[in-house]
Amino acid sequence: MIHALSLTLLAAASFGVLALALQLFFVLRYRGSAARAPAPVSGKAPTGISILKPLCGVDDDLEANLAWFATLDYPVYEVILGVKDTRDPAYAVARQAVARWPHIMRLELQHGEPGLNPKVNQLITLAAAARYEILLISDSNTRAGAGYLEEIAQTFEDPTVGCISHPVSGIGERTMGSLMDNLYQCSSAGAGQIAAKQAVNQDIVVGKSMALRREDVESLGGFYSVRNVLAEDYVIGRWVTRKLGKRSVVARSPVFNVSQKKSVTAFFKRYARWSIIHHTCVPTPVYLAQSLLNPLPWALLGALLAPSAQALGVVVGVALAKLAHDLTLFRLMRPEQAISRSAVLAVLLKDALLFAAWANGLFARTVDWRGNKLRVLPGSKLVPPTPALDKPMATPEPERAGELLAG
């Protein structure tokens, strides 16, 4: 019995390696087709874009992130910065940005508290203040490459498109926690978005950078309709296709999540929360199957159950394949960025912590969200906790729900 279970786990890990190889293939194919994609020709005046940027606390290198958005090479756009209230440390940074770039940036304080999702509460205020018809939701810890707004405007020239979101990459690491975070963003989150779209036309819409038409948002009931949903990006992406009958598009180039000083503990807490929410959005069989994309823990378990030279060979092969996969995507998804000598260790530690977070997500349904304990129901719907059903859960750092369903 134990020997059979060991063989099953080793076979599952080997199948996971095959799935990773296919993921890498689809990313390479997408990069090739994206590089050859011609820019649409339009005689229309430039489409105005309102960038909605909710702030919560001072992210790594926040001033430089805002400066990047203040100097985009696009003729008609605005950046609306949002904070919950003046007590937020980001308020002072936002005021300085508005004073420096008054023709581009504006600051809005949140009006009321209509729901349980803090990011959506801000989006409701920011959307009401926006001047233009394309609303671009952009997290405060992001930057992007050249042609960012041009591609969004060109994409919306097609009336069948309802949403465009960007694959996620990660840059800037100075600590082991941020190195693991950026490795995950490149090798799992961004690669998963691209591969899911390429392989099975599955939309994984990520709110770290996603754009919609104002009229489509209003047709769906506005951001108010997802005020009590934690994975609002995932839900809106599904509604765009299922309710509006429009297409979601994956952008040709990634958006860069800036992570510099995250601790290993903060990394684990973030993905422990992510796993809980992800499990509420997909059926349990899918959640179980997705663990094969992290095959090394399964291979180790198989070898421990029935140690042998053959089992050890499988473990070594799986480890080498996973390292090659992650480091290759780490380079592909962030060109011109150096790879740390600690990256090999970071891959192994990352995968061990992600497996623990995944196991927690099988059963836990309660998260602490900026000091508020909440239960997450199917579809990532938020409700106050039921004391009898509460489970202890690590307190996550204040990060956005928009990154939760990538990968």
The architecture of the domain spanning 43-258 is Alpha-Beta Complex (3.90)
Question: Domain locations in the chain?
Answer: 2-27+263-403, 43-258
How are strands ordered across the β-sheet holding 372-377? 366-369, 372-377, 381-383
Burial of 378 (0-12, 13-18, 19+ CB in 10 A): exposed
Task: Provide the residue-wise pLDDT of the chain in tens; the chain has 407 residues.
Answer: 898 999 999 999 999 999 999 999 999 998 877 655 545 545 567 899 999 999 999 999 999 999 999 999 999 999 999 999 999 999 999 999 999 999 999 999 999 999 999 999 999 999 999 999 999 999 999 999 889 999 999 999 999 999 999 999 999 999 999 999 999 999 999 999 999 988 888 888 889 999 999 999 999 999 999 999 999 999 999 999 999 999 999 998 899 999 999 999 999 999 999 999 999 999 999 999 999 999 999 999 999 999 999 999 999 999 999 999 999 999 999 987 888 889 999 999 999 999 999 999 999 999 876 666 889 999 999 988 765 444 443 333 333 333 333 33
- 328, 27 contact by CB (below 8 A): no
CA-CA distance, 74 to 39, in Å (whole number)? 15
| Intra-chain end-to-end CA distance of the chain, in Å | 33
Q: What's the CA gap between 37 and 277, in Å, rounded? A: 35
Which of 20, 17, 12 shows the shortest CA–CA distance to 195?
20
Tell me the whole-structure pTM to 2 decimals.
0.89
Q: How far apart are CA 230 and CA 211, in angstroms?
A: 18
Helix (H) or strand (E) holding 339: none
**Contacting residues for 82 by C-beta, under 8 A, at least 6 apart:** 52, 53, 54, 55, 107, 108, 109, 110, 122, 123, 125, 126
295, 348, 347: which is closest to 9 by C-alpha?
295
